[in-house]
Amino acid sequence: MKITAIDFETANGSPASICAVGISVMDEGSIEEGYYSLIRPEKNVSRFSKFNIGIHGIYPEDVKNAPDFRTVYRDMEPFLRDAVVCAHNASFDMGCLKAACLNCGIPVPSLRYFDTVELSRNVFPYLKHHRLNDMCDYLRVELDHHNAMSDSMGCLMIAAHVMNLTGIYDIEEMLEACNTRIRSL
Distance CA 52, CA 36 (A): 19
Instruction: Name the domain count of the chain.
Output: 1
pTM comes to: 0.96
The residue segments making up the domain with residue 38 are 2-184
pLDDT tens column, 9-33: 999 999 999 999 999 999 988 998 8
Strand arrangement of the beta sheet that strand 112-115 belongs to: 30-38, 18-27, 2-10, 83-87, 112-115, 183-184
Rg of the Cα atoms in the chain = 16
Contact present, 183 and 112 (Cβ < 8 Å): yes
Angle between helix axes 116-123 and 132-139 (nearest 10 degrees) is: 50
CATH code of the domain in which 56 resides: 3.30.420.10
Q: How far is CA 60 from CA 43, 47, 52, 103, in A?
A: 12, 8, 11, 19
- The answer, yes or no, to whether residue 49 has pLDDT greater than 90, is yes
pLDDT at 149: 98
Measured in whole angstroms, how far is the alpha carbon of residue 98 from the centre of its chain? 13
Q: Which amino acid is at 97?
A: L
**How far apart (Å, rounded) are the C-alpha atoms in residues 63 and 20?**
9
pLDDT at 119 over 90: yes
Asked if 111 and 80 touch (Cβ cutoff 8 Å), the reply is: yes
Band the pLDDT of 120: cuts 50, 70, 90. Answer: very high
Distance between CA 50 and CA 58 in Å, rounded?
10
